[in-house]
Each structure stands twice: as structure tokens, then as C-alpha cells.
Amino acid sequence: MTYRGVRLLLTGESMWVSGSMSGARTPARLLRTVLPASGRHGPAASSYSASAEPSRVRALVYGHHGDPAKVVELKNLELAAVGGSDVRVKMLAAPINPSDINMIQGNYGLLPKLPAVGGNEGVGQVVAVGSNVTRLKPGDWVIPANAGLGTWRTEAVFSEEALIGVPSDIPLQSAATLGVNPCTAYRMLVDFEQLQPGDSVIQNASNSGVGQAVIQIAAALGLRTINVVRDRPDIQKLTDRLKSLGAEHVITEEELRRPEMKNIFKDVPQPRLALNCVGGKSSTELLRHLAPGGTMVTYGGMAKQPVVASVSLLIFKDLKLRGFWLSQWKKNHSSGEWTAPMPRVTGKGSA
């Protein structure tokens, strides 16, 4: 099962780019001047030699926090020499995620030292390796092991431990968006409730990057999904697309609040797991439909409103409220635990 990334980069099709910040100087437009066109992998690694390597690369840099359209600048940076444990990487593609924007604004849980190169996610090709590098070789595809690496640049030299190798025969866009959304989806599906095939999961923001990963991974695990989205003129088109990924039910926020919602549970068991990326009224409705003893995991707050939980639901249904942040999960677990699910989310074996 291959995860199909949706919130991309390069073409400027992310939700953030298509909104009010789609002017001439958005990071998305600048990013297209830094990275190769989507789908082109650039020169083969073997075409580089130590004598021909450029000493400077292009990068999107911010020296202070603020409005990304105002603080992000396209700059030339000096490329560091490759040390014994270093890896030189040519970036192939990098997305723009909400966390990237939050980090530039200065309101994210992890902030790199300034000045910093933007971008937490992406895929690159190894160009050269130091004499002490054992896991990677020229031509390999790699993604960041942790957030804050700075992927919005043409090339860079990273330490071997900062990179994770990924298959080079998966779609470029999938590889570029593999490290955050699918891994977040997988961990939330397996870490909070012991779900079995046939059990159901309910989530909001179902057409987000994480939401679509949840749909696909849940289907691979035999789980049934109830997917909540905002109403829109082309709702049927969106419904068809999510169902093509494996969604069983797609409903709008308005339908979630209607009494008819109970009809879904004549065919689908009440969910024991709810995944909340919105907050506000939407999260309250998710809680209302959870089975007794169920868990709601919050991993985002797109509505910028607090999660409101009914006292009666907490007392009489014994519901649990949890939070999830992938960066914190990585700090608490080994790299081997993080990479273990990769075969499942890339379709290259079983985890």
C-alpha cells in the first residue's frame, strides 16, 4: 500500500498556498525556484565529482520569526565540506506543511536556531558520502530523521544520523511526504487503542495529508473509517476521491451533528478511536459518537478553538483525551522503532 501525498510543494497546491498568501513571494513560489520540477529527479549521483561540485547552493532562509511571505528569503549559502560521517544530499522535492509555516511564525513546539533554512520534510538523493558512512551510498534516496533539518534548499551536507534511507522506486511525491503525515497516522492508529479488523475509527479533517494517510493505512489494517470533512460545492467529487483511497463513510460537519448520524452505527460499530485535527465544535461531536471507554487523540487545531469535552461524557462514558506530536514520539523512541512501519506505509513489505 503506497501512501499518496496530497499537500504539495513545487506546484503550489497546498491549502496554505492557495489561500490568501498566494502572492508573488510566497515560500511555495520561491520553492519552485530552488527545487527541480516535480517528477524530475535531476542529474544522476554519478555525474558529480569532488572537483566539479559547486561551493554554493540556493536555500529559503528566515532570520527572524514572522509572516512567511515577509521573512523568508532566497539566498545563496556556502556548501560545507563532506566530513567522515557526513552525507551530501541533492534535494529532489519538499512539501509545505502547516508545521513549516508555524515554525517560521515562531509558534511551533520546536524552533531551530536562527537564521534557519525552512522545511521539515522532503526527499533527497545522496551525492557523496564520507569515509565513515556505512548505511548510505551515492544514489540512495533519503528523508530527514527529525524535524528542523531545513529541506528547502538545492543541496546540503548532513550527518548520516540525521537521515533515513527510503526506497527509490516509490513515487517522488510520496517519498517527499513520507516522514510526517503517514507516520503520524500509523502511530495514532496503533498506539492508543488495540483495534482489530472490523473496528471503526472516526476522524475530522479527513482530506488533510494525515487524514488521507489514516484512510489508506486503516484500510490496510482492516479498519473501517468514518471521515468528516467540511461541506463544499464539489463534496461528491471529494467523497469519491476519499472512497477511492479506502474510506467507508464520508460525511460533512453538518451531517455529523444530525440525529440521522446514528444510522451509520447500524452497519458500523461505534468507534473506539477518534482523531481530531480541528478542535472546537468538531472535536465535541467526535467525542459524542465515541464508544464507551474510547479515546480521542488530538494532533492539530485547525479551527484555533479549544477542545470542549462534556463532563457527562467523561464521567459516564469514561472517555479519554490524549495528544500526539510525532517529534516528541521520536524523542521517546529509537530510530528503529520509527522506521519499522516504513515497509507498510511504502508498500515494500510488511511491518
Contact in structure between 209 and 275 (CB atoms under 8 Å): no
If we measure between CA atoms, which residue out of 324, 326, 321 comes closest to residue 341? 326
Q: Rounded CA gap, 273 and 189, in Å?
A: 8
Q: Looking at the chain, how many residues does it have?
A: 351
Contact in structure between 276 and 286 (CB atoms under 8 Å): yes
Other beta carbons within 10 Å of 155: 21
236: enclosing H helix or E strand: helix 235-245
Residue 102 has which C-alpha cell?
Answer: 508555524
Residue given cell 516509490 in the structure block: 170
For residue 149, give the 3-state DSSP assignment: coil
Q: Rounded to a whole number, what is the distance in angstroms from the first to the last CA of the chain?
A: 12
- For the purposes of burial, counting CB atoms within 10 Å of the CB of 2, is it exposed (0-12), middle (13-18) or buried (19 or more)? middle
**Residues 6+ away with beta carbon under 8 Å from 148:** 103, 110, 112, 116, 120
The residues annotated with a catalytic role in the active site are 108
